Amino acid sequence: MCHDLALSLHHSMFIPGIERLATDEQKAEWLPLALNFKIIGTYAQTELGHGTNLLALETTATFDPTADEFVMNTPKITSMKWWPGGLGKSSTHAIVLAQLVLRGKNHGMHPFIVQLRSLEDHTPMPGITVGDIGPKLALQNIDNGFLMMNNVRIPRTNMLMRNAKVSRDGHFSSSGSSKANYATMILIRVKILSWASSLLVQGATTSIRYSAVRRQSQLKPGGEEMQILSYQSQQYKLFPALAAAFAYHFVTRTMTAVYEKAYEEIIGGNNRLLAELHSQSSCLKALLSEETCVFLETQRRSMGGHGYMLMAGGGAYLLGAMTLPTVEGENTVLYQQTARYLMKQVANALSGQQLQGSSSYLAADPEYVCPIQEVNDCRNTRILLDIYRNRAYGIVTGTARKLHADMTSGMEQHVAWNNNMIRLVRAGKVHSQYYAVECFVEGVE
């Protein structure tokens, strides 16, 4: 991951965005250009003023029926696109997320292909101001950039119209699968699971191999120096990360399959899995990115002074991972997105509805007795999974009861939410941990 990201958004979002959001005619026009690198694309969603709150994005695409064109604008400083990889120097085109305005009415956020730079000399197109945002902690080979647009005109057909259309006379129509636009945004969170897993695998491999070769001190006076991997304290540092690397591999595999299934249903007009997909991609992106950073720092330290050197690799893995907890949604907010879904599921369970998917355990019998009777039971993966399930059940339902009690006492919903935010974040986190362990157990078995 740390070495091959220069064109990452071209591969991970620009091409998949065209594949998922364009009509067949638009695919025929744009995909050959992108696949053959005739154009280089990026995905411009985040703005300087708004990242997590997508509904508040300020970039506009206003239709001009006389010219059959959209007029693209970033009306304020906070409206400029900020962070997209490849935007600073490399990209010639971008899928730009903007508020669609027709006859003064806002029809929400939609994707548009905007040419940023000339294909002749790579200079910015008229009305385009684009550049690099500057040095970062790491990943300097990615030219993260900013984009401002001042009355930039693009053809009407540059709006990606698989799920929503604007006709020549300015009429807006949306298909039953319009939420596929949002499902495409979720794709990058699923990809982040793979990136985090890959970084953790690399970090674990490096630090464990180092620990097998490095010898230091003796347990017995006069004896030979020990491999540091033989020391219990070193195993305590490294083996949880090794186990997590396997778990995250199975999480990534499972969520990729979940995403593909959900997306196929969504483009067919069935949105029944969208809420589940949003919830799971949110909390798992938060969990894997957060814990990968913690594990990688522990691994770097486990290599002693050598771990501080760039040639050891551990620092590069860590710095590469440090972007993940905030990219595509800050983790605290993402845990709350999952918690909001879980609170609804608890209410559904109490009303007698049958729960499906990752939250089905919330409808379980609340009576629970820990099944551990002896030490060997702690090695039984099914028993451990049961404990994680009960832990999640207790914390999630307990949070729901507290939230309900506060609102019943007269507290406004938004005040009650804020007053219980730490509990809600924890609820989202323990739910994700239970799901990760479930994927691990099922993958191993």
| Residues marked as catalytic | 328
Let me know: does 103 contact 133? Beta carbons within 8 Å. no
How many CB atoms neighbour CB 420 within 10 A?
22
Q: What is the Cα–Cα distance from 100 to 287, expressed in whole angstroms?
A: 34
- Residues whose CB is less than 8 angstroms from the CB of residue 110 and which lie 6 or more positions away in sequence, other chains included: 61, 97, 98, 99, 100, 159, 160, 164, 181
Identify the three-state secondary structure at position 215: strand
CA nearest neighbour of 164 among 357, 14, 56, 26: 26
Q: What is the Cα–Cα distance from 228 to 211, expressed in whole angstroms?
A: 5
Beta bridge partners of 227: 215
- Residues whose CB is less than 8 angstroms from the CB of residue 376 and which lie 6 or more positions away in sequence, other chains included: none
Residue by residue, DSSP assigns 110-171 as EEEEEE-B-TTT-PBPTTEEEEE----SS-TTS--EEEEESSEEEEGGGB--SSEEE-TT--
DSSP designation for 41: E
Q: What is the Cα–Cα distance from 97 to 83, expressed in whole angstroms?
A: 13
- Residues whose CB is less than 8 angstroms from the CB of residue 323 and which lie 6 or more positions away in sequence, other chains included: 136, 137, 138, 139
Beta bridge partners of 104: none
Let me know: does 289 contact 181? Beta carbons within 8 Å. no
- Residues whose CB is less than 8 angstroms from the CB of residue 428 and which lie 6 or more positions away in sequence, other chains included: 282, 283, 286, 334, 335, 336, 337, 338, 339, 342
CA nearest neighbour of 44 among 7, 108, 91: 91
